[in-house]
Amino acid sequence: MVTIADVARHAGVAPSTVSYVLTGKRSISADTKSRVRESIRALGYHPHAGERALSASRSNVIGLVLPLRAGLHLPVMMRFVTAAVTSARRHDMDVLLMTAEDGAPGLRRAADNAQADGFLVLDVEMDDERVPVLRELAKPSVLIGHPAATKGLTCVDLDFEAAGAKCVDHLADLGHRSIGFLGAPSAVYRRNTGFAHRAMAGFSAAAMRRGIATTAMPAEEDYESVLRSVQALIRAHPAMTALVVHNDAALGWVSSCLRASGRKVPGDVAVVAICPDEIAEQVSPPLTSVRLPVDELGRHAVELLVGKLEGRAVPPLLLLPPRLSRRISTPELASARYGAASSG
């Protein structure tokens, strides 16, 4: 049976555009209408009653659920919004930003009141109270992030456990044996937010596997707090030669806080960040980083949601593998170079 998706592929347009041509709900250019109608004729497409009703009932709006909670780094969150909006426009869909902070009741009210076909959900906790509501909703949803239990959900995320481990392995391979971890604001850990929990878990497991001495500290979103956390890490491990940072807001201050503590980057302390490439490249010195693929996560989330709206089977959990880009903040340790030369 020929479907709207088949017609869309044949005409080179989004499925929603085919719906608009069929229903006349939006103004479509004459050229696009002509292509769609030609594809309908060529494929012999005849919408059945269910498809006609579905097309007529669609608002072609995605609800983006982003509660503005403590500890969220708003510039990065807005990058997710931009990525989702850009991807949604390719499907002729609009995005409604929903910022209610009151968890499950807020989501339920939003779902009842919003003229949205489905929802993208950000800032996902390990035991997120919104999950039972999402499972009950008649409208489909996709989470950017994933809770501990993903049954009945559709999620896309960076593999943060692998990202944390990748940072340790990179530094251990360079000869570092004492590594600190500067984490997200404490409110993020109190909420047991998935990305923060998993990155630290992956870091800790890899450090244990590699025999690395570690200490982890959260850092708040101001210079004095970052400085206190950096100094606490150095007191706990005076021999610390490397630092992993998973806190976008703190990245601009890390080098200066280390310098204020008598340590230079990269001469005394190597630094690896988990963040978008652009942030790692903009600080001084540029930092080796495991990339947070904001654009890809937003694009995949929209594609998964559109797939669900069109009745296609989609994977329940899509984990993107971490990718490390090395910059000048992680040179090889002089002791490791000397040891390699001596053994040769």
CA-wise closest residue to 123 among 225, 55, 191: 191
The CATH classification number of 61-158+294-323 equals: 3.40.50.2300
Q: In this predicted model, what pLDDT tens digit does every residue of 267-313 receive, in sequence order?
A: 999 999 999 999 999 999 999 999 999 999 999 999 999 999 888 88
Banded pLDDT at 111 (limits 50, 70, 90): low
For 168-198, how does the pLDDT look when each residue is reduced to its tens digit (9 = 90+)?
A: 999 999 999 999 999 999 999 999 999 999 9
Let me know if 263 is exposed, middle or buried by CB neighbors in 10 A (0-12, 13-18, 19+).
middle
Is the per-residue pLDDT at 335 higher than 60?
Answer: no
Q: Which residues pair with 250 in a beta bridge?
A: none
Q: Are 8 and 18 in contact (CB under 8 A)?
A: yes
**Comparing 96-100, 122-126, 140-144, 315-319, which segment has the lowest mean pLDDT?**
96-100
* Distance separating alpha carbons of residues 20 and 163, to the nearest angstrom: 42
Q: Which segments of the chain are extended strands (E)?
A: 61-65, 94-98, 118-121, 141-144, 155-158, 178-183, 213-218, 242-245, 270-275, 288-291, 317-320, 324-325
Give pLDDT, residue 6.
Answer: 79
Local confidence band at 57 (pLDDT 50, 70, 90 cut-offs): low
pLDDT above 70 covers what percent of the chain? 86
* pTM of the shown model: 0.81
The reported pLDDT for the residue numbered 179 is 97
| Same fold for the pair 4-57 and 61-158+294-323 | no
The CATH number given to 163-291+325-343 is: 3.40.50.2300
Contact between residue 62 and residue 302 where contact means Cβ atoms under 8 Å apart:
yes
**Within 13 Å and on the Cβ side, how many CA atoms surround 280?**
24
Per-residue confidence (pLDDT) for residue 108, from 0 to 100: 75
Separation in Å, CA 108 to CA 17, 96, 204, 292: 29, 15, 37, 30
Structural domain spans, the chain = 4-57, 61-158+294-323, 163-291+325-343
For residue range 235-259, list pLDDT tens digits in order: 999 999 999 999 999 999 999 999 9
Q: Can you tell me the distance from the alpha carbon of 143 to that of 120, in angstroms, rounded to the nearest whole number?
A: 6
Going through 187-230 in order, the beta strands assigned E by DSSP cover 213-218
Q: How far apart are CA 230 and CA 250, in angstroms?
A: 11
Q: What architecture is the 4-57 domain classified under in CATH?
A: Orthogonal Bundle (1.10)
